Structure 1
């Protein structure tokens, strides 16, 4: 809706409700041009007075598309606009107008229509504009208008219409682009408890009567253009207010002192406004959980600015605080250590806070994020920070901190971002930083650090975002161990005292996009192997002592946008393709012996070579290549014949049931994995190991599962997995590409399966990132989890319901759920699966047991008592997997002892205390978003409903008695509804 005229009180409320709560669309039957013609004649018949003879042309002498006030679509010749505004027509509005099913605009304003608005207008599904302003319509606004789901402009003012919404308790009309002032008529809703007008274009001030709706518990109008100050007695007249969201507006003035009386409030979100002055005492806000005051003009850079923090020590449930980007000055009080032990998020950055960091912050042991950047803090990092073992983000950058980086930083084993840049730290990087095995981003740039770069840095294989050590005084060489950072996106070692050659091994950082080595003393040549960095966009090697030529292969890096080798000792011809085609993207001044290149570089021409000698050399080179190729062809033929004869003599172990699979040789697998190198090992399981490889027959990487044939049951596992996967195809099942049943180079049996490679690893790696080395990994948000759960259920539905033979997976768990590039889930590892045929309603196993019935924690209790495998068993495993996904806890967690288990852990808190069992990373994601940009946590539609449903299904599937568990048909139906509803709510919110 783009704009409103002045409307009657109840009318305005109806319009908003119409837009926000309209039901599903319906489809009206199209009866063709004749229907439109007859509908218009009935419209004319209902007119009793036509003073300007407007409808005189409405007769059979001309086509109705040429009648006055009518506009038709060129293609279908159907009426799309009926515009008769201002003709002083008198009469009733014919219900036959509802048959103009192509109608987009109906404008009858400034006439004298009377009677009721016909319900048949609800049949106009294409209607976008409806204007009946300034008529004499009476009665109620037709509820059928809610079917007009495309309606964007509705004008009904200056009629005699009525409506009755006085019993409304919850009113939400967000994200509708509504302009103008907030209407005072909303104040008539005396029973209103929730009012959400966020993400519109409301302007003006809040009507004073709003503050008299004493029943309000939730008031949210963020992301508008509302201005003005808060009434002094605001929190006296709204005694039940629990959540207040008015962020991202233009409010000004102080935070009023009456806030001391907001004793019921749990969330106070005032961010991104123009509030000024001191923050009053919040001592009586004992139930406060979230406080967001960031991006205002609060504080006066005085010593009293932060006194209100002392009053927050009474708020025992406080979860997140942000006062970032204000004018707060003074020093942090030591009492900050007395804040709630549940405090997880503390944003203090972008102020003028001075003095030292209080050691008492180390008492806030639940903190997962501490941001104190861009202040005037000085002194050392307190050693008590070593107590913050749940810390995930620590930002102390752009202060005046000094001294050594304490070795206690290594205690922060959960840390994934550490930013200390632009301070005055000195000394060495403590080797204990190697304990931070989840670290994804490390920025220590622009300090006074020295010594060699510790090898422990390069053992942080979790580093995927950036490693920035620039503008320090590091010395020594850049060690070849840099290759361990295979998934790093940015490396910056510029402006240090590093020397030696640029290590060739840096080319193994396959994901690297930004490499800056300028301002050091590197010597030797530019490694041609840098060309293997296919994603490289920025390469700066300037101000070093490099010699030799620029490798021509650099021009093959397709995405390279910046290449700087200025002020070295390079010589020879400059390439002319790729990045070298654009002089704006390359810099190479200060290399006096370079030549050639594109004309814009103004380099001297390169000396010509003896063409005759070159031609002679080329002839002999070609002759030599041909000779080598002939030799290789003969050798290949001989070897192939030998192995074919040997293969025909060898009795195959394989069951005939796997003959349908194409085979691949041991040699191909050995070559594709660099001899099954440990660097290509991506996992191991009950019966073998999995390697990442590259086969000549496949365009992309593959996953190669090599069976450990020394393990009892491994041979049968191989047969089972082949048989289970050879004939099944589903988007959520891992695809088997080929298999290998052969001998290795020692003549011993060798068996392997080849699958599609899943770049994003297993679900277990995402849920429990302490075991992960995935690139760019963050915690899974709720959208991802809903999609993955639904994907797994879809795969299980296929195995149980849609296969020719019933397949029981028997080992469903997070490590057996793999995620592709798009985070689509694929169920894998059918090594102990069962194929079952159903004959006369009796199940018959077609494969024998190998003695293993799943994994501890995921296998149902009846399996431990000797019961046969069943679909109910798979459902139990699925239920446990679901509960693990929403709680973040493994079923084998050490807290589950003395008869306690994951199912009971959830059941004890469901549904009233979900916060106690919800995965902390889900809570921290939503809370952090809320602190930063307003109201996401509480106003993404259906979040709570979604979580309750997921917990309920997980509990229902993991019941102890098999007969009490949900079946996969009901589960997939419910999950598809949950996903559709939840994702629709997220899209509407965004």
Structure 2
């Protein structure tokens, strides 16, 4: 009966419910344990990571909230079984913050990808706890610090990608423990030292990219152990010696890129391409490799890029007809060819290279005529550079078929004939360089079709006739260089006025006539204009003043109108106020101008007086108004000073009466001198960022540490040095404070204009995170501008101040940079005023016994010599060498008689590229191969700037000449500024 009752449906239902309840209890217990030990840990780690993100411009983390399970959050991948985080991928979202060390708690994490964001700070060592981690990629951020040794504990690692950051230090020796590593990518950092020997034991390695660091040493034969290596990039370092022979036995290699190192001597083996049958990229640019091009290249059927530019290769070019996939062929800057007629015969073999985009043959020893086969190249051709050879004859009109050309450079040869009208078909061309040949005839009117033209350079030819009215079609033109020809007629300023011409207009040494039209005023942004050595006449139009309306931001810097037949009055405003910025010599009918031009005074014309009666009446009204304003201002100032003298505490009598601000104002402006607002240290105090409410202005407040010996004198010295000094490259003191703080202690401070880009020291040597977390690099153009700014400030202090000033402490930390990277000399706490009485120089010292900073102070100061302007020149010379080499004068290597000056002088002039800062070597990143492992990229040098090497060579010369031991043998700042201006003009003319 009991059994019968159990079979009743009612009991069955209850039994099922009991079973379900029990199972549920067991499941809840299990999930609680699992959650407590795993899921909660992952959840909390992700929340901590989220807290470390300070900026999320695309709101990609909006899904990271309690309404979603964390496995459903954007960028998160979880395992199906345990619901543990196995992947975190937030690539390319512009996230800003630090990499949270809590990520080290994601114990199931296999893939971590934070590429292309703005993460800063250091890579947390806690990531070394991720024993399952296979892929770590954080490239293109601003991470700093060393590579954590703990990362080498992640023995499952396949990909370690840390490129394009600001990492420092050396590669950990323990990296050899990552024996499963397939990809090691460290390019574009600040790493130093040698490649650890343990790297050559990573036999699973497929990709090794360490370019654009400061690695040194030789590449050992042990690289041959990497039997699976496919991709090798060590560009832009300081590797020396020969490439090891074992490298040529790695048949799996598809890319070898060793550009811009110090690899010397030796030749490439003739069977190189036979031993490396899969090679797609061979980039040897910018070394000192010699010998012939291996003949085995004739069978390199997979080769896409062959760049041996800027080496010492010689001989004849082999046939390249089998290189059907060739895209980039750059042989420029060698000694190839024999100046024979058949030197360019190999061009015929390029007929089958249907993918060719770049052909660089410039600056070699090629001779003969330009063969007709030049017209049989790929129609995909983008760059064609054959300048700097001994090629003669005419240009084949068939070159006009290359309608995809962006750059065509045929200058510095012996080409004759006319410029082909077919060039008008090159409608994508941006650079057309034909200078220093023997072209004749007129400029073809068809060139007006080149609507994308940025630079047209045809100087030093035999061109003639009038300039056709085509300039107005060039909407992007920045450079126009037509000097040293036989052009006649009017200069077509009407057409030029509608172009964006801003870098260079050089029409000098021609036969232009007529007068300057009023349309010249439309060239508001022009950087350099040279129309000298022509037959211009007439008055200079007043509208030329409009060309320099932006002079304060260095838009127009030099005007050369010398040796014409101009007449009339020279203006005294704008660029005409600065004699060093203009040249008007050789125009005998000019008059007026500033006294430094030494022109005769202009006669007074009665009809002119009557003609401008209304203008003069307006001027009188303005003058009266100004005088009244000045009178009222004077009365107010006198009243204010008398009142202040009665109420304020006395200060040293040598301090100029600067308008003062109260301690309370500065305390409020800096939030109580909070460490959050601390932005640096001066010679005698701390510098804070603050906002003056009365001015609604961000300022820098230098608070003197009065406990430090010499601080009082430093305060007085800085006030005296700056009280009458006004120059655009001197930091401007806004006000000062001499008062009592809230503790009853004496308080002194100076308030300066705030410089948002910090100091030059930070840009040269410190990590990007120091101010704005943005990558920081200074190209040659910016370094040149900064040096000119600093030199201009010293020139002013030494020669143009009411009382000459010697700075005494010039160094990168005392050079500040504003929003536009204009440089300002600061910190005059050690400066001296120089006055002369009866021919005797008298130095007014600021602080006894302190004469500058070690490494920057001249040697004569160390033996008790008096301060002088030549001491500043020495400091400037050391600054130049530091900016060019990237080395401080106080580095450990400079001992036992070796200093920065002698270090550079030993390499000058032939080996400068061994010591120049690698940042100054122009580079570009190019995709060269594809792989299943996301993006494989390589950075390789581009063709060097045409005038870059000359500029760097000249700058090194200035640095050496300024920093010689004997003060009498040093340059003076007048010579320095003149030479820097010449270098800048030459550099910009070829940018």
**TM-score, scaled to structure 1:** 0.47
TM-score by length of 2: 0.47
